[in-house]
Amino acid sequence: METLPETPAAAEPRGAVAIIANHRGELLLHLRDDLEHVAWPGHWSLLGGGCDPGESPAEAIVRELDEEAGLDAGDLRPLFEIQDRHGSGQLITFFAAHWDGDETALPLAEGVKLQFFAPEHLPVLTIPPFIRDGIHRFLAAQPDT
């Protein structure tokens, strides 16, 4: 496990996303609004967002999950960091959590919809490159079942 900084550097834009898996091994993805001012419009992504000033990635992901979907994933654990080189430029901290709820019942405050997808269905989805890289890295580290 990589050591992650506790607080973001003041000049470096930071963000956080969560890879949320259910007991079937499906991953929760978020279809982003197709609006010009939205990063990666119309793409399937992970729940998350940018860090507010003075906010750590761990604080940001808890806030973002609550704001975007009313989701409290209590077992969040940090995984790794990837820079969104072709989008926001932010250094993104990836977190993982387990959640077995009904995604259609979540109060979605941003984006179009939330949906669980089996890993074998991900190749056909339009996903930002850094998110796809993070998902592949996460899945490669999972034990075979």
Looking at 3.60.15.10, 3.90.79.10, 3.40.50.970, 3.40.50.300, the CATH number of the domain 14-140 comes to 3.90.79.10
**Side-chain-facing half-sphere of 1: CA atoms under 13 Å:** 10
Distance CA 109, CA 55 (A): 21
Residue 137 has pLDDT above 90, yes or no: yes
Token pair in block for residue 127: 């996903």
Average confidence (pLDDT) over 75-99: 94
pLDDT, tens digit, for every residue of 2-58?
555 554 445 588 999 999 999 999 999 999 999 988 889 999 999 999 999 999 999
* Entry pTM: 0.89
Average pLDDT, the chain: 91
At residue 87 the predicted structure's pLDDT band, cuts being 50, 70 and 90, is confident
Average confidence (pLDDT) over 70-86: 93
pLDDT at 11: 57
pLDDT at 39: 86
pLDDT at 8: 44
pLDDT at 83: 94
The 8 Å CB, 24+ separation contacts for 23-26 are 23/98, 23/100, 24/116, 24/118, 25/118, 25/119, 25/142, 25/145, 26/116, 26/117, 26/118, 26/119
